[in-house]
Chains A and B, each alone.
Chain A
Amino acid sequence: MNDMSQVPVTVLTGFLGAGKTTLLNRILTEQHGQKYAVIVNEFGEQGIDNDLVVDADEEVFEMNNGCICCTVRGDLIRILGGLMKRADKLDAIIVETTGLADPAPVAQTFFVDQDVSDRTKLDAIVTVADAVHLSSQLGEHHEAEEQIAFADVVLLNKIDLVDDKAIENVQTRIRKINPYAKIIKTNHCSAPLNEVLGLNAFSLDRVLEVEPDFLESDHDHEHDDDVTSLSFVSETPLDMDKFQTWFGNLLQEKGQDILRSKGILNFEGKDDRYVFQGVHMLMDASPMGAWPTGKDRSSRVVFIGRNLESMNLQEGFEGCKVA
């Protein structure tokens, strides 16, 4: 199947009251000339009535492969399969998740289910965050941190209700968890839809565009459960075998704590750039054509997760350099 026949799917996360429904209502009612289907959860807020709204159950199940973090959304497999049988083709699909949902099973569904990945592709994870309450939610709920950690776009909503200082603070919190997400500040989720849908953020090409918005590194006694990110760069080419062994073992053993990983790699003796991106233990990797001439061939990997400090990532990555 080529890209043309794959319908892009946007996953919409965010705590209750952050403004997801406002955004969904805009997607369903604005005159954008596009045909969108919206998959909502059964505990979702009321008030959306449209024949392209589908009720889902958020049923997460473990796959039969013995890996406890390989969970997928069974209802998504079923519903996406059904939507693909429609006579009228959809331009995009939006999946709303409950406020407390872990985004990983949704993302993993696109990695592991063959029918889903043949016909649809994960476009981006968009997290709607409430500028007033996000800071306290991050302290209280694992799920809030995970939703920020997984996001490709954070819609920082309700900024009219807080002052500039508070906006600055909440942005710093977001950056600390996930320096790679694009933050869009809005009121009433009024961001242009083309900044939210059709981003192709999960495409492997886009890994190349990862330009983390680095913070001054502050390792001041973070709580063990805090989600943080680390990134490493190497100008020295990497040994492919060594990297595969290290990275494979790392995901196998620490995949539960590594929420997302991405990278672009320069392997000794290879003309192609290699890119990958992963969700927990699952990842997708492929060569992406030759390095541009006259540019530095540097390898870069990034990790977002918990307990990253304990994984000896720096040593592991250094150990992959050719001697």
Chain B
Amino acid sequence: MSDREKFLEKKMSSLYPKETELESRGAHFNLNAPVTCSVTTSHSVAVGFGDGSVRLFFEGDKPRTIDAHNGVVLSMATNGEYILTGGDDGRFLKISQNGDIFEIANFNSRWVDTVAAYKDSMVCSSGSNVYIWSEDQQKAKSLEHPSTVGGLAFDQNGKRLAVSSYGGVTVWERGGRRWTSKRLVWKGSHSRVSFSPDGKYIVTTMQESELHGWRLRDKVDLAMRGYPAKIKSFAWVGDTPHLATSGDHQAICWPFDGKDGPLGREPVCVADCGKQISTFIEPLKGEKAIFVGFNDGTVLLSELDENKNPFVIRNPKGSEISAIAISPKRSHILIGDSEGNILWSPLWKNN
């Protein structure tokens, strides 16, 4: 072993102690099914699994298991109170905090790929159609798109709904009972979609290893490229927001402040994990910091500052991080991976 290798090994072992603080004080579960999605409601952290189950994790109470779908839980959203799920059994479900299940719709062999919630609006997509159930309407309003829907997102005040598909994004705007649309065009397949918190930009992840964005005021295109892998996760962080993204050996954080957002600017790169590829990003609310999950199961916590060292939150267990969620009162963190391992741990000492 060369001196350099010895040095690296020593460095790695100090970086990866046997058990991290959060691992030693947390609860560990293996649920034998991939963790596919998670959301934080005002009462719990809800987690979806590849065997169709949904589990609710409460601060200071035992988790609750709900047999929801007869297949993979593909998507999940919340309005803060109830949870919406879409499954590969074709069902679109509404699940209450005490585990009551209400089937909103059943598309049979067509999957419910994406779901979204805003106050009393419940939205899902199946194939190229989006269906919206609003409080004052019994029947779903159906919105058609040129091809299969890849992602759904409401803006901050629930007025606009962005729907991504092949070749771009359709932005629907609600005016009373009518929805009008405009189309943002960019070649290729778009999946996850999100409005910036100020509502000025829309960003999508693409089938290629890149992001695409539009400034809505003038439809100026933003291409965010240079990733070695697909971007599976992104999140807005901070008041003058950065878009923190996975898909590289670290988290790539694009600045969206100022007049032109990331146009012509360099991203902030934090939470470097060597050869591993980041697969999940979750902000620590109230701080300019993110949890970054990697394909080997490592989770790092880093401030959005290239000069600060990241903390190791979870050691590698071998399979990729597919969910990170912070509990409603910010007391606990949930980390899930594609092998069904869950860590549920108090974030702070003496919690």
Chain A residues within 8 Å of B, Cβ to Cβ: 51, 53-55, 57, 59, 61-65, 72, 74-75, 77-79, 82-83, 85-88, 113-115
Contacts and interface: CB of A to CB of B under 8 A. Distances in A.
Contacts of A77: 189, 207
A74 B71 contact: no
Contact of B207 (A72, A86, A88): A72
Contacts, number: 81
Given A77-B207, A86-B72, A114-B230, A63 B188 contact: yes
Given A74-B207, A78-B113, A88-B51, 11 more contacts: A51-B71, A57-B147, A59-B147, A62-B187, A82-B72, A82-B111, A85-B72, A86-B34, A87-B32, A87-B33, A87-B34
B36 interface: yes
Contacts of B52: 87
Contact of B230 (A55, A59, A115): A115
7 contacts: A55-B111, A57-B147, A62-B188, A63-B208, A82-B113, A83-B88, A114-B209
A54 B147 contact: no
Contacts of B70: 51
B206 to A, nearest CB: 7
Interface string B66-110: 000011101000000000000011000000000000000000011
A172 to B, nearest CB: 41
A75 B49 CA distance: 22
- A51, A72, A87: residue with the most chain B Cβ atoms closer than 10 Å: A87
B143 interface: no
A21 to B, nearest CB: 15
B128 interface: yes
A85 B207 CA distance: 18
Contact of A57 (B71, B148, B189, B207): B148
Contacts of A61: 147, 166-167, 188-189
B336 interface: no
Interface of B: 32-34, 36, 49-52, 70-72, 74, 88-89, 109-111, 113, 127-128, 147-148, 150, 166-167, 186-189, 206-209, 229-230, 338, 340
Contacts of A87: 32-34, 49-52, 72, 340
A72 B186 CA distance: 16
Given A64-B206, A85-B72, A59 B148 contact: yes
A59 B188 CA distance: 12
B34 A55 contact: no
Contacts of A83: 72, 88
A86 B206 CA distance: 23
Given A77-B207, A78-B148, A57 B127 contact: yes
B258 to A, nearest CB: 27
Contacts of B34: 85-87
A55 B206 contact: no
A86 B150 contact: no
Contacts of A55: 109-111, 127
B148 to A, nearest CB: 6
B229 A114 contact: yes
A2 to B, nearest CB: 13
A107 B89 CA distance: 27
A88 B32 CA distance: 9
Contact of B111 (A54, A63, A74, A114): A54
A85 B188 CA distance: 24
Nearest to B107: A55
Contacts of A82: 72, 74, 88, 111, 113
A251 to B, nearest CB: 20
Given A63-B188, A115-B230, A53 B109 contact: yes
A99 to B, nearest CB: 20
A168 B3 CA distance: 71
Contacts of B147: 57, 59, 61, 74
A86 B71 contact: yes
Q: Which of B70, B109, B208 has the most CB of A within 10 A?
A: B109
Nearest to B167: A61
A74 B72 contact: no
A102 B7 CA distance: 55
